[in-house]
Structure 1
Amino acid sequence: MDCPDARAPDAFVARSEKATLAGRRRLPAAQRERQIVEAAAQFFAEHGLAGQTRELAREIGITHSAIFRYFPTKEALLDRVYDHVYVQRWNPAWDGLVQDRSQTLEARILRFYREYAEKIFDYVWVRIFVFSGLKGYDIAPRYLAIIRDRVIHPICAEMRADLNLPPPETVPLTERETEAAWALHGKVFYLAIRKFVYGWPIPDDLSQVIADDVGAFLRGAAPIFVDSVRDASPS
């Protein structure tokens, strides 16, 4: 899997110039709204979530009041950016992928993270996520709740099944188990942080890197799951 190129600030300038030209034409309401959301996502990724909507309007080439005809508050605009950048990139096919026992657990987890990395290794996605955490916006917590429910907990439940351990319905998941799964998730995401936040190189082909991470998780986490379930089980 090749890692997509980062969108550099030069790309944002080019996009802004195109948006400015579009802003001089009368556009249908839905098209204008989408233009604002797409430009806002790029703008906040570059300038941070503290960026001013007045400057955003200048970048797009529309009046400041035009933004608020579509979005009554900056928070409403950020909510649409969240939907555009995060919710719409979630592939519905991922729901249930980890639980598909027609494949080995390693194959399931590996497939998810390879496909997931293709979606999130993106300049806008990563930088808005980081900025939202730093500034206390709820974008990161909302998205992490999705990851917890759709990725972390399913991986833990399937890990237990693979090890012939009691299911979470019998013995609730322990903190050690979930932290082991978060560590795998964080390791994959750190590659994106390194590229789009630190500007530090990462491998061009991430397939083997992710395979190594998943293999290390499965080997290293097994004793953690066994021990923690034993300690949490009723005597």
Structure 2
Amino acid sequence: MVPKNAAKRRRLPPTERREEILKKAINLFSEHGFESSTREIARQLGITQPLLYRYFPSKDDLVRAAYRSVYLDRWDVEWDRLLCERDQPLDWRLKTFYRSYTETIFTRDWMRIYLFSGLKGADINRWYIGLLEERILQRIIKEYRYLAGLDGEAKPQAEELELAWALHSGIFYLGVREHIFSLPPPQDRHRIIANVVDVFHQGIQAYFAKLSDREPAKLAAQVS
């Protein structure tokens, strides 16, 4: 059955039509998850199923396109450069990175799609976690290893990586609180991020100082 509003729909060039469908699908996924069939998705988007298939031959294609749009297309390559900028203090780099990163991910569609896909066990989470670990979390650990006089290019140990996850998860929860639990966001998110980074910065210096047989105070003086 053709949706009632299908005949009234304005004709768009194929590229614009595809983007319109994708944008509506992202909103649908963020509100209801990924359980709907393509027939139901088409109905909720106000289009016919054949039209949906014209642009996205399968549901997996639509989900992958949503992933690229919400996650990959919003990834800023400057983040990689920033974290490796060793002529700048590392705590400053982390604060600057997380201010920018949270501006990108603290949106309703990003947060809700991420959690819906996690509950479903979808590939979308595994893709993104792999990207996050490789490009951000491993780099954070490598930078602290370098500051401690250890091998800054060695692959981080699982225990070390968990420290980076603790930092990241604490900041990520600020977005969960706002967009999943509908609780008021912090009045000054940047200040909260700075405080979290400061606590992490001091603690991880002590951790790596033990590994390098150097006093935490000496390492702190080198960083500052």
TM-score normalised by L of structure 1: 0.83
Letter of the structure 1 residue corresponding to residue 112 of structure 2: R
Unaligned runs of 5+ residues in structure 1 are 1-19, 231-235
Distance (Å, rounded) in 2 between the aligned partners of 1:217 and 1:175:
17
**CA offsets per residue over residues 55-79 of structure 1, 9 Å max, x none?**
3323332112210111111011000
| CA spacing shift, 1:179–1:155, aligned 2, 3 Å | same
SS of match in other structure, 1:95? helix
Q: How does 1:37-116 map to 2 (within 5 A)?
A: 37-116=22-101
1:206 pairs with 178, 184, 189, which one?
Answer: 189
Letter of the structure 2 residue corresponding to residue 132 of structure 1: S
SS of match in other structure, 1:193? helix
| Greater RCO (CA < 8 Å, at least 6 residues apart) | 1
What is residue 136 of structure 1 aligned with on the other side? 121
Letter of the structure 1 residue corresponding to residue 176 of structure 2: I
Distance (Å, rounded) in 2 between the aligned partners of 1:23 and 1:30:
19
**CA offsets per residue over residues 32-54 of structure 1, 9 Å max, x none?**
11111110000000011113333
Distance (Å, rounded) in 1 between the aligned partners of 2:8 and 2:207:
56
- Contact 1:174–1:228 at 8 Å: present in 2 too? no
RMSD: 1.8
What is residue 8 of structure 1 aligned with on the other side? none
Distance (Å, rounded) in 2 between the aligned partners of 1:133 and 1:33:
26
| CA spacing shift, 1:157–1:150, aligned 2, 3 Å | same
| CA spacing shift, 1:22–1:48, aligned 2, 3 Å | farther
Matched, 1:35 2:38: no
Matched, 1:26 2:18: no
Matched, 1:119 2:120: no
Comparing 99-108 and 197-206, the one that deviates more? 197-206
Percent sequence identity is 40
- Contact 1:37–1:80 at 8 Å: present in 2 too? yes
SS of match in other structure, 1:164? coil
Task: Quote how far apart the aligned CAs of 1:86 are.
Answer: 0.5
Comparing 195-204 and 118-127, the one that deviates more? 195-204
**CA offsets per residue over residues 62-116 of structure 1, 9 Å max, x none?**
1122101111110110000000100010111112211101210011111000000
What is residue 164 of structure 2 aligned with on the other side? 181
Matched, 1:148 2:106: no
Letter of the structure 1 residue corresponding to residue 27 of structure 2: Q
Task: Quote how far apart the aligned CAs of 1:137 are.
Answer: 0.9
SS of match in other structure, 2:73? helix
Distance (Å, rounded) in 2 between the aligned partners of 1:182 and 1:224:
15
